[in-house]
Amino acid sequence: MDAKIPLCNGSDLVNGGRAVPFDVVYAGQTCRAFAIRYQGRPHAFLNRCTHVAMEMDYQPDRFFDDTGRWLMCATHGATYAPDTGACVGGPCRGGLVKIELSEHGHVVHWHTAYNLKPIEF
Ligand code: FES
């Protein structure tokens, strides 16, 4: 069954600002993920570029480009839309894997899915 996992306070995510990182199990593999806020709404994606499967932030938790308009991979400059994860420029091959979020009260939760689970300790 799908579950909602507490991730952070809504105030931790600022429009165009630093990401909040978290870990998930995606298709059986432990992966880094990140949440950002864009135009008032929180969004989350796997931290895995679709050009080469590697993490995208050159400084921890920094994904936005200088304009705050796009998410950019630091390695070769693939650029993604912050709300959908769609590839909009550079060498990406398809969009980022999106993770559903919800925000209620002051808390942001991420949603599990059939191929997306929390890490078991
Ligand atoms: S690894 Fe992200 S653009 Fe090449």
Pairing of strands 79-80, 98-99: unpaired
Which pLDDT does position 121 carry in this prediction? 72
Six-digit token string for 14: 């600022």
Bridge partners, residue 42, by sequence? 37
DSSP tag of 64: B
Q: Is the CB of 48 under 6 A from ligand 1?
A: no
Measured in Å, residue 105 CA sits from the centre of ligand 1 at: 36
Which pLDDT does position 1 carry in this prediction? 67
Q: Is the CB of 76 under 6 A from ligand 1?
A: yes
- Averaged confidence pLDDT in the chain: 96
- What pLDDT digit, counting tens, does each position of 76-114 carry? 999 999 999 999 999 999 999 999 999 999 999 999 999
Nearest CA to ligand 1 atom 3: 76
Residue 73's alpha-carbon distances to 31, 32, 55, in angstroms, are 16, 14, 8
Phi-psi region of 43 (alpha: psi -120 to 50; beta: other; left: phi over 0): beta
**pTM of the predicted model as reported, rounded to 2 decimal places:** 0.96
